Amino acid sequence: MKIIVGIGGMTNGGKTTLTNSLQKALPNCCIIHQDDFFKPQNQIAIGEDGFKQWDVLESLDMEAMVSTVQAWIRDPQKFARAHGVSVQPDTTDTHVLLLEGFLLYSYKPLVDLYSRRYFLTVPYEECKRRRSNRSYMVPDPPGLFDGHVWPMYQKYKQEMEEDGVEVVHLDGMKSRDELFHQVLEDIRNTLLNSS
């Protein structure tokens, strides 16, 4: 049995922390991070807002991401071994793929592949605070959060809702433990009901 779980949502909402915790608790679990598919910096357009457009779908090589997902679907054991994930012999028929990213539900070829879709959010003030405390390889220029990051998050969230993409909303203000146990239990139930 194979299930694909999306851990999506806003920047600095807790997606990576949750995903990494889940990988340790689930059998034969691989992760694909959307951030690994950013195009090179020289291919990122500068928008009308004056900022490099990192927070738009066009900044990502989504075809490459889909190809990576398809490689997992074709042979999850081979994919796991190639990515340093040890396959547990007693659970070789159960495989979980976690897709983690900020625009997981905006790219049509991916939307229907998920068994479960989660969407993490935190309030504007908290998101801005967390973002300003993180250090990025390419540092945020002044005004990027309000001028580009937040408006793009709102735009894609609205499109997701208009497209009727069903997600389980998660409150990123809950403790890491609480979120982890909520999602882990949900995924385990999905696995039980799928077997």
Q: Are 122 and 130 in contact (CB under 8 A)?
A: yes
Containing H/E element for 171? strand 168-171
Provide the annotated active-site residues.
35
Q: Are 148 and 130 in contact (CB under 8 A)?
A: no
Q: Find the Cα–Cα–Cα–Cα dihedral 131, 132, 133, 138, rounded to 10°.
A: 80
Q: Which residues on adjacent β-strands are paired with residue 4? A: 97
Q: What single DSSP character describes residue 106?
A: S
Q: Structure tokens of 122?
A: 């935190």
Residues in the chain: 195
Q: What single DSSP character describes residue 153?
A: H
